[in-house]
Amino acid sequence: MTGPQATPHDLVGVGIGPFNLSLAALADGVPGLSTLFLDEKPAFSWHPGMLLDGATLQVPFLADLVTLADPVSPWSYLNYLREHDRLFPFYFTERLHIPRREYEHYCRWVAGSLPACRGSAHVDALAWDAGRELFEVCFTDASTGERHAVLARDVVLGIGTAPTVPDALRPVLGERAFHSAGFLDRRAGLSGARDVTVIGSGQSGAEVFLDLLRTPPSEGARLRWLTASPAFAPMEYSKLGLEHFTPDYTRYFRTLPEPTRDRLVPSQWQLHKAISQETIAQIYDLLYDRAASGASTPAVLMPNIEVAGSHSGPDGIELVCRHVEQGREFRVRTDAAVLATGYVPRRPALLDPLADLIDWDERGRYRVDADYRVALRPDVAGRVYVQNAELHTHGVGAPDLGLGAHRAAVILNSVTGRAVYRLPQRTAFTDFGVSESEPEPEPEPESPSPAPEVLDAPAHAR
Ligand SMILES: Cc1cc2nc3c(=O)[nH]c(=O)nc-3n(C[C@H](O)[C@H](O)[C@H](O)COP(=O)(O)OP(=O)(O)OC[C@H]3O[C@@H](n4cnc5c(N)ncnc54)[C@H](O)[C@@H]3O)c2cc1C
């Protein structure tokens, strides 16, 4: 292993997904700031298993890596278009929601251009060197197998979330049952299947179902779409609803008591776990066109279905299901299953050397402050920041690309101790909470002694 370099970096980022890339882009050119961002992949890629034809970003292109914090940055999407001579076509296409493939290409251009971004570097350990008051970030170079270490004053974790599969579906994981994160890589394995089941009704489940509907794995294959949710519901996309994805809402959410926050996040599923109206319309129109053309539509769409168990056998996969509202149990036999069952926060092994220095909450989660800084033991002078690991403290905006540039600017301002980026004071029209300066209600006047009861008044008079 090569020893750490003598001069520490001010900030080392672990992971180069959109969020740390945003930070790398905003940090680029900040005078006197030394940064390094490491990712295990050789080059930037963004959910490659879900880069489906026709899939678009769920947020307008202004939610690129920098614009909402620094519209004049050279790393904006518009400048990317200029550099690739595509400004005029973009102007005429009049699209707010750009193709997912193009967004990935844009990010790849930024990551490939920034000298602070380094690929093929799997970070395996993050340790605090109390003597030097610096973090030691250890990583393995994937191409040579060599181990290296770098020193950092501060660290930011941007390692994303991990695909998750519920216990009930684990027994069938294999060649013909896999998480939607690997859909494009494994789609060929579905070839010839006569009956395919998609489980989960978030955006990924909808896109997988649409893709299979457009190109079934075999002629006349039956497609089934099951979800435990009460409906194939649209994502909340009203203008006021979208204000939940503002720094104002994030600020408000942070002030709520932990039990309230923990109750709120799952109850807000339609803000972040539902389906875009456009994808629902595409699915519906395809089903309609098929029905109208007289073709039988071997498609089954069922909400309210909980999969309680599963097993594989010589006849394929059997799912033990229960209709949540009817309470009825039934079984589904299928040849293959795509599990669009979501993503969960990671607690990476690289944190093991630091685990005792982190002030975890009662549920083993980070405590994250307004600057996205993780609470550490008071004697640790260095700072660890997180991006997209603070859903429980900052609310539904945590995984949203629209808040990425703002959060990265907050972190950068905190790291440098000055307002490198001036950030807006007010970002929503909605007042989410009552401010402390709001006058409290006058105390109720003493109520007069109760009037004598009218004994013969009818019981239902009110
Ligand atoms: C298919 C899909 C589409 C989405 N579309 C949208 C959308 O349109 N709009 C929106 O607002 N949100 C969207 N999201 C949600 C969210 O914005 C994305 O998941 C986004 O990629 C999160 O970015 P990230 O930087 O946190 O993590 P990721 O993109 O997951 O990147 C994390 C990076 O960390 C690296 N890494 C992890 N561990 C290590 C390690 N130990 N050492 C080195 N590197 C490591 C990984 O290789 C990876 O490159 C989408 C999510 C999915 C799954």
Tell me phi and psi for residue 317, to 5 degrees.
Answer: -110, 135
Q: Quote the percentage of the chain above a pLDDT of 90.
A: 88
142: nearest Cα among 116, 124, 164: 124
pLDDT of 459 higher than 80 = no
- pLDDT reported for residue 215: 92
- pLDDT reported for residue 458: 34
pLDDT digits (tens, 9 = 90+) for 21-46: 999 999 998 999 999 999 999 999 99
- pLDDT reported for residue 437: 72
Mean pLDDT score, 319-339: 97
pLDDT digits (tens, 9 = 90+) for 147-159: 999 999 999 999 9
What is the amino acid identity at position 214? R
Q: In this structure, which residue's CA is closest to atom 16 in ligand 1?
A: 399
DSSP alpha helices (H): ranges in 49-134?
Answer: 77-83, 87-93, 100-113
What is the amino acid identity at position 79? N
Mean pLDDT, rounded, of the chain? 93
Spacing, Cα 158 to ligand 1 middle (Å)? 8
- pLDDT reported for residue 451: 45
Helix (H) or strand (E) holding 345: strand 343-345
Q: How many C-beta atoms lie closer than 10 Å to residue 424's C-beta?
A: 11
- pLDDT reported for residue 440: 67
| C-alpha to C-alpha distance for 275 and 269, rounded to whole angstroms | 11
103: nearest Cα among 158, 21, 159, 202: 21
Spacing, Cα 45 to ligand 1 middle (Å)? 9
- pLDDT reported for residue 293: 87
- pLDDT reported for residue 190: 94
DSSP alpha helices (H): ranges in 155-304?
Answer: 183-186, 203-214, 247-255, 258-267, 269-272, 277-292
Residue 183, helix vs strand vs coil: helix
Spacing, Cα 123 to ligand 1 middle (Å)? 16
Rounded to the nearest 10 degrees, the angle between the axes of helix 18-27 and helix 404-416 is: 50
pLDDT of 125 higher than 90 = yes
Alpha-carbon distances, residue 454 vs 312, 447, 460 (angstroms): 72, 19, 13
pLDDT of 119 higher than 80 = yes
Pair of tokens at residue 255? 């002030």
Mean pLDDT score, 319-341: 97
pLDDT range class, residue 453, cuts 50, 70, 90:
very low
Name every residue whose Cβ is closer than 8 Å to that of residue 244 and which is 6 or more positions away in sequence.
Answer: 236, 268, 271, 395, 396, 397
Mean pLDDT score, 342-369: 95
CB of 357 closer than 8 Å to CB of 380: yes
pLDDT digits (tens, 9 = 90+) for 44-60: 999 999 999 999 999 99
| Choice among 75-89, 191-205, 240-254, 447-461 with the minimum mean pLDDT | 447-461
pLDDT of 398 higher than 70 = yes
pLDDT digits (tens, 9 = 90+) for 206-262: 999 999 999 999 988 999 999 999 999 999 999 999 999 999 999 999 999 999 999
CB of 366 closer than 8 Å to CB of 358: yes
pLDDT of 457 higher than 60 = no
pTM to 2 decimals?
0.93
| Choice among 310-314, 395-399, 452-456 with the minimum mean pLDDT | 452-456
pLDDT range class, residue 439, cuts 50, 70, 90:
low
User: Following DSSP, what letter does each residue of 150-174 receive, concatenated?
Assistant: EEEEEEEE---EEE---GGGGGG-B
Q: In this structure, which residue's CA is closest to atom 9 in ligand 1?
A: 58
| C-alpha to C-alpha distance for 82 and 78, rounded to whole angstroms | 6
Query: Which atom of ligand 1 lies at the shortest distance from residue 20's CA?
Result: 25
pLDDT digits (tens, 9 = 90+) for 332-354: 999 999 999 999 998 999 999 99
Q: Is the CB of 57 under 6 A from ligand 1?
A: yes
CB of 304 closer than 8 Å to CB of 230: yes
- pLDDT reported for residue 445: 60
pLDDT of 452 higher than 80 = no
Spacing, Cα 18 to ligand 1 middle (Å)? 6
Spacing, Cα 397 to ligand 1 middle (Å)? 14
| C-alpha to C-alpha distance for 102 and 96, rounded to whole angstroms | 13
Residue 56 DSSP one-character state: B
- pLDDT reported for residue 294: 81
Sole residue written with tokens 């970030």: 137
pLDDT range class, residue 454, cuts 50, 70, 90:
very low
Residue 275 DSSP one-character state: B
Residue 234, helix vs strand vs coil: strand
- pLDDT reported for residue 219: 87
Mean pLDDT score, 263-281: 94
- pLDDT reported for residue 443: 64
Query: Which atom of ligand 1 lies at the shortest distance from residue 56's CA?
Result: 8
- pLDDT reported for residue 5: 65
